[in-house]
């Protein structure tokens, strides 16, 4: 039994997957939960040491006999988080995460210094969105100047785990494109954007080397191997952001497929063999971790919406499924605008969640629960429509993330998005994508496309097709949702 290890550093947990790539099965997996510090001002932070503690805990929960057969590792990580290091690799401050919207002012300051939002898109490929790393960097200079003066290296969460595993500082193109200061067309740091962040300091001195394509960045350090129960000296791959690893883990490495991730955040993305830059800035012009590009839309409230509503109505998972199924498509006219944590798309960092269309006839638990699912899905349908307008074809949707476990939600996605929905038997998402990247370090002659074809399998029993009657209903519901979003934008923009 030969094992490839995929590590996924998420917002809520760290997961470790041990993939037996000879027999093509998951030989062991475990996760350990993470705390998240949030407040009413948009702050969302974690301590980097929590990630290391959770990684150790997840490792201990996997059979030692499986761990000791590991032959390679790769890491997936939540995007955008700002890990500030000093010259000794010590972390200077709590890590502001992708869902931190407290730096909206800094976003505007950076874009103004660069020449405006349009100039950012035209010259670097992306505007500076709330959540991107760039604004967190400027915030540190303003709010913690004594720490900023000691800043020696800028890393992202998955880069920090790579550093812990190997002692190497580096950054991968896909994850780097979510910083806001990578020119995604040229795949190089934007010196002009770095100057817009800080005109008084050459921030390029704090940036690690950029890597493109999967390669071993180093080997597992002996002391870390002992902590994790893994063999010392095995190669560690370049890894990538969770969306980039999720693309590999869902077979999204060629044009035509679209991945929809139903997690804490919601994402839709598709592989492209050319840079795809949205002149409106709704679609992020990211690079992939497989040598191409990964145009992507991210919402900050996906399962956030459904979990809040489940908690409010005291509905466990079983009751949630039953009540969502009991409501008709359109939830009796109830529309949820799921902007509970502010929102990135649309660009409303100060927005609040709203439920509209409630009256004395439809104010029922099943409608509120179904509406929370529909609202989160409508927000992602907008991304699919935007991608289509940029020439990105979608033949089928591959679902991943926690929400994909819901049969009702899978069918709602098919009906709203008017496309076949596919679920894979290997439903570990980003973790299995990282594991396949690790496999490539061992099977050096195999392309990532060949590995995806060989190791990923469709689950016919959980896949579904759109239903004509529901499709027609949802076309009108989506128009009403967009009208409601426009009204809310006028309040919170």
For 62-83, the pLDDT digits (tens) are 999 999 999 999 999 999 999 9
Domain of 9 in residue numbering reads as 3-242
pLDDT band at 40 (very low <50, low <70, confident <90, very high): confident
CB–CB of 368/309 below 8 Å?
Answer: yes
Q: Cα–Cα distance between 367 and 363 in angstroms, integer?
A: 7
72 and 117 co-located in one domain:
yes
Residue 278 included in any domain: yes
* Structure letter (DSSP) for residue 251: T
37 and 170 co-located in one domain:
yes
Residue 286 included in any domain: yes
Residue 436 included in any domain: no
Find the CATH number of the domain harbouring 26.
Answer: 3.30.420.40
Residue 453 included in any domain: no
Per-residue model confidence (pLDDT) at position 349: 85
How does pLDDT run across 389-404, given as a tens digit for each residue?
A: 999 988 899 999 899 9
pLDDT band at 410 (very low <50, low <70, confident <90, very high): very high
201 and 293 co-located in one domain:
no
Peptide bond connecting 308 to the previous residue in cis, omega within 30 degrees of 0 = no
89 and 197 co-located in one domain:
yes
- Stretch (H or E) spanning 298: strand 293-299
172 and 303 co-located in one domain:
no
pLDDT band at 493 (very low <50, low <70, confident <90, very high): confident
The answer to whether the predicted template modeling score (pTM) of the entire model surpasses 0.85 is yes
CA atoms within 13 A on the CB side of 136: 30
226 and 293 co-located in one domain:
no
Number of domains, the chain: 2
Of the three residues 221, 242, 263, the one that is the final residue of a domain is 242
257 and 224 co-located in one domain:
no
Closest by Cα among 172, 156, 382 to 291: 172
Residue 342 included in any domain: yes
Give yes or no for residue 1 having a pLDDT over 80: no
37 and 72 co-located in one domain:
yes
How does pLDDT run across 87-136, given as a tens digit for each residue?
A: 999 999 999 999 998 999 999 999 999 999 999 999 999 999 888 999 99
The catalytic residue among 8, 242, 278, 427 is: 242
276 and 202 co-located in one domain:
no
Residue 428 included in any domain: no
Give yes or no for residue 379 having a pLDDT over 90: yes
Active site residue 242: yes
185 and 227 co-located in one domain:
yes
| pLDDT more than 70, % of the chain | 100
């Amino acid at each position: 039994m030969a094992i490839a290890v995929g590590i996924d550093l998420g917002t809520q947990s760290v997961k470790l997957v041990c993939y037996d790539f000879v027999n093509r099965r998951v030989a062991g997996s475990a996760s350990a939960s993470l705390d998240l510090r949030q407040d009413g001002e948009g702050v969302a932070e974690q301590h980097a040491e929590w990630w290391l503690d959770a990684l150790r805990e997840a490792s201990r929960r996997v059979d030692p006999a499986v761990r000791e057969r590991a032959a390679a590792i790769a890491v997936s990580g939540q995007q955008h988080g700002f890990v500030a290091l000093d010259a000794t690799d010590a972390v200077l401050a709590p890590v502001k995460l992708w869902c931190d919207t407290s730096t909206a002012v800094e976003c505007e300051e950076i874009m103004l210094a660069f020449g405006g939002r349009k100039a950012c898109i035209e010259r670097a490929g992306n505007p500076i969105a709330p959540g991107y790393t760039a604004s967190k960097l400027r915030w540190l200079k303003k709010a913690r100047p004594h720490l900023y003066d000691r800043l020696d290296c800028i890393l992202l969460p998955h880069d920090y785990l790579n550093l812990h595993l190997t002692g190497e500082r580096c950054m991968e193109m896909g994850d780097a494109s979510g910083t806001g200061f990578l020119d995604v067309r040229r795949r190089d740091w934007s010196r002009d954007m770095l100057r817009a962040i800080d005109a008084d300091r050459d921030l390029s001195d704090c940036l690690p080397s950029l890597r493109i394509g999967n390669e071993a960045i180093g080997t597992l350090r002996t002391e870390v191997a002992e902590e994790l129960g893994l063999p010392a000296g095995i190669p560690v791959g370049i890894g990538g952001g969770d969306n980039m690893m999720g693309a590999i883990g869902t077979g999204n490495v060629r044009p035509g497929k679209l991945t929809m991730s139903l997690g804490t955040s919601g994402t839709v993305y598709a592989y492209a063999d050319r840079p795809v830059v949205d002149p409106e800035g709704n679609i992020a012009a990211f690079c992939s971790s497989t040598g191409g590009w990964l145009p992507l839309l991210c919402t900050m409230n996906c399962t956030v919406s459904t979990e809040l509503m489940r908690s409010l109505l005291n509905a466990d998972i079983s009751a949630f499924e039953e009540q969502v199924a009991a409501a008709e498509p359109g939830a009796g006219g109830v529309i949820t605008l799921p902007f509970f944590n502010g929102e990135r798309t649309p660009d409303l960092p100060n927005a609040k969640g709203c439920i509209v269309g409630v009256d004395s006839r439809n104010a029922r638990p099943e409608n509120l629960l179904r509406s929370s699912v529909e609202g989160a899905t409508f927000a992602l349908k907008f991304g699919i429509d935007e991608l289509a307008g940029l020439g990105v074809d979608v033949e089928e949707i591959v679902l991943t993330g926690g929400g994909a476990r819901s049969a009702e939600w899978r069918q709602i996605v098919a009906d709203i998005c008017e496309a076949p929905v596919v679920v894979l038997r290997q439903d570990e998402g980003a973790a299995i994508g990282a594991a396949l990247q690790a496999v490539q370090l061992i099977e050096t002659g195999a392309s990532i496309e060949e590995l995806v074809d060989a190791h990923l399998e469709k689950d016919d029993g959980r896949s579904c097709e759109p239903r004509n009657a529901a499709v027609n209903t949802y076309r009108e519901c989506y128009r009403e949702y967009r009208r409601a979003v426009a009204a809310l934008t006028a309040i919170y923009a």
